[in-house]
Amino acid sequence: MSTRDRILDAALASFGTRGFESTSLDDLAAELGIRKQSILYYFASKDVLLGAVVDRTIAELGGVLEAALLRGERGWPRIEEVVRAVFRLASRQPAFLGLLREVNRMGPDVADEMATRMGSLVSRAVHFLAADMKAGLLRQADPRFVLFFVYSTVVGTATDPAARTAMGVPGGIAGLRQLRRELLGFLRAALAVK
């Protein structure tokens, strides 16, 4: 694995959990067994590194979501497919969704860039939802809001371990499976036609 990729991986992990500003290049380098200047050799500045991490994350997330969207059948199965895909991603790389939340803290420029990057994916999802609602497969509602709520619920459950323990939701692998099952039940009820 190339040094460049190792840096990107470590940066994603740290940015997504500790946060961008709380991550120092020195710590990052120490974690990798190299010097800070080697990071700056590959990425001209900390901001450039962040950009590269965000780019790679969005690209991978986009690919996973798109594949899931095309894989699932109309209506609920497609949504379940997407949620399962996100769950897989989140359990393999916990910092992944954390980085999405981190965007809120950084300037509106980063948020705007993210928005445009995700634009086509979002509009496709919205159209899917609208079509499924029209076909009577999902509860009638504003699809943009529904997408936003599903996103918030899934990302929230994955990125708020403090609340999770506070509310007595078990952890571990078995807990994760149960969480996924219950979450799917919750969302399915929220989207089902009454």
Interacting residue ranges for a copy of itself, rule: CB under 8 A: 17-19, 21-22, 100-101, 103-105, 111-112, 114-115, 118-119, 122, 126, 139, 141-142, 144-149, 151-153, 155-157, 159-169, 178-179, 182-183, 185-187, 189-192, 194
Which residue matches tokens 């919205």? Answer: 126
How far apart are alpha carbons 20 and 53 in whole angstroms? Answer: 11
Q: Which residues of 121-157 are buried (b: 16+ CB within 10 A; e: fewer)?
A: bbeebeebbbebbeeebbeeeebeebbeebeeebbeb
Distances (CA, A) of 87 to 96, 150, 154, 193: 11, 13, 8, 25
Nearer to a copy of itself, 34 or 126 (CB): 126
When CB distances are held under 5 to 8 angstroms depending on the partner's kind, the choice from a copy of itself, DNA, none that residue 162 binds is a copy of itself
**Least Å from the CB of residue 2 to DNA:** 7
When CB distances are held under 5 to 8 angstroms depending on the partner's kind, the choice from DNA, a copy of itself, none that residue 25 binds is DNA
**Least Å from the CB of residue 160 to a copy of itself:** 6
**H-assigned helices in the chain:** 3-17, 25-32, 36-42, 46-71, 76-92, 95-102, 108-134, 143-159, 161-166, 172-191
User: Which amino acid does the sequence have at 159?
Assistant: T
When CB distances are held under 5 to 8 angstroms depending on the partner's kind, the choice from a copy of itself, DNA, none that residue 194 binds is a copy of itself
Catalog residues that contact DNA under the rule CB under 7 A. Answer: 3, 23-27, 29, 33-38, 40-42, 44-47
When CB distances are held under 5 to 8 angstroms depending on the partner's kind, the choice from a copy of itself, DNA, none that residue 120 binds is none
